[in-house]
Amino acid sequence: MTETSMPKPYHRSDGRWQMRYLDRATRQKRYVYGGTRDEVIEKFLRRRPIDQAPSSASVDRDSLTVAQYCERWIDRTLASSDRRASTVHSYTRLLRRRVCNDRIGRMLLVDIQPTDVEDWLIRLKAANLSADTQVTYLRCFSQVLKTAVRDNYLQRTPMEGISKPKRSTEPRAVFKKHEIQQVLDRFRGTRYWPILTLIALTGLRVGEALALQWRDVDEQSGILTVSRTLTSVGGKLALGSPKTDRGARTIPVNAAALSAVLNCVRDHDRERMVLTIGKSNDFFFRTANNTFLDPHNEAPQV
């Protein structure tokens, strides 16, 4: 056992598990005990002195923790990719919260085994995360480990043979026509009514609706063009492309219903004394200063 490697758990004849490590400060051998393999690893990771976990600035392959490599992947691989800003932000939060701050993040990268990944998935499930969310986390972490193989930190990815959580096969709940009408009636006369009505008519995502400009609509023919979406990344609003390639599309809308929505938007703008009503570069749904509405603020209502 070297000073920087993680000791292997040992199953004692009395049924307990044991790990032995070298305390750098005192140069003394230390022992931790537990009733199970997982328990003794957890105790070791909590007790392990901070100075035995090298910083990510300059560490060799055998002493690099999973959390340190995740940070390196975020700073280099993720930052240099062509992923959307919202995806970069989402992956960064995901890895730091669910990997770096988890027990698996404190393990040495070279020590990770498929069983450790399975234990990590069990903890995700215990956190009451949906199967879809677990699959997203697994896919993201898998990309990190594949990069570690590419960079010769690992010989093979411990994700091999890992079974993905089964996605729910139950049909998603869908609003019935009378339920949609009840929602619209409840918000009639508020600034949310035109947003909700437009979403009900078209199936737009909230970010897509908030990114619409007057030039995107042909009011006479009832054609709506979707080419952008509004996202909030790190507290900053940004326009981007739709979530998928099929997201850029044209949508036919009942002309009378569309006119009702647009007239309501115009009336709200007049009440707020917005002077540039209906100009092509203006957004349908905006503040009195002609700035974006935040999707994170509007989504809970919508």
Tokens matching residue 254: 């009942």
What does the pLDDT average to over 225-245?
76
Name the residue ranges covered by the structural domains of the chain.
Answer: 1-51, 53-167, 177-298
| Cα–Cα distance measured from residue 172 to residue 258, given in angstroms and rounded to the nearest whole number | 27
Given this model, what pLDDT does residue 288 score? Answer: 62
Q: Which CATH architecture has domain 177-298?
A: Orthogonal Bundle (1.10)
State the pLDDT confidence band at 184, using cuts at 50, 70 and 90.
Answer: confident
Class of domain 53-167: mainly alpha
Q: What is the pLDDT of residues 165-175, one digit of tens each?
A: 887 666 777 78
Among 1-10, 252-261, 281-290, where is mean pLDDT lowest? Answer: 1-10
- Maximal C-alpha separation, the chain: 83
Our CA angle for 227, 233, 234, nearest 5°, is: 170
In the beta sheet, which residues pair with residue 30?
Answer: 21
pLDDT of residue 4: 42
Alpha-helical segments (H) within 151-274: 177-187, 192-202, 206-210, 255-271
Q: Say which range, 77-86, 121-130, 132-141, has the weakest mean pLDDT.
A: 77-86
Residue type, 9: P
Q: Tell me the pLDDT tens digit for each residue of 12-27.
A: 888 888 888 776 666 6
Question: Please, what is the average pLDDT of the chain?
Answer: 80
DSSP secondary structure string for all residues of 72-134: HHIIIIITTS---HHHHHHHHHHHIIIIITSGGGGSBGGG--HHHHHHHHHHHHHTT--HHHH
Q: Give the model's confidence band at 62: pLDDT under 50 very low, under 70 low, under 90 confident, else very high.
A: confident
pLDDT at 302 over 60: no
| Chain-centre distance for alpha carbon 17 | 37
pLDDT at 115 over 90: yes
HEC-encoded secondary structure of 223-256: EEEECCEEEEECCEEEEECCCCHHHCEEEECCHH
Residue 1 pLDDT class (50, 70, 90 cuts)? very low
State yes or no: pLDDT of 74 exceeds 70. yes
Whether 34 shows a pLDDT value over 80: the answer reads: yes
pTM for the model stands at: 0.57
Lowest-confidence pick of 74-78, 127-131, 170-174, 177-181: 170-174
Q: Which of 105, 107, 95, 120 is nearest to 67 (CA)?
A: 105
- The average pLDDT across 93-117 equals 93
pLDDT higher for 147 or 36?
A: 147
- The pLDDT of residue 137: 94
Residue 153 has pLDDT above 50, yes or no: yes
Higher model confidence: residue 62 or residue 79? 79
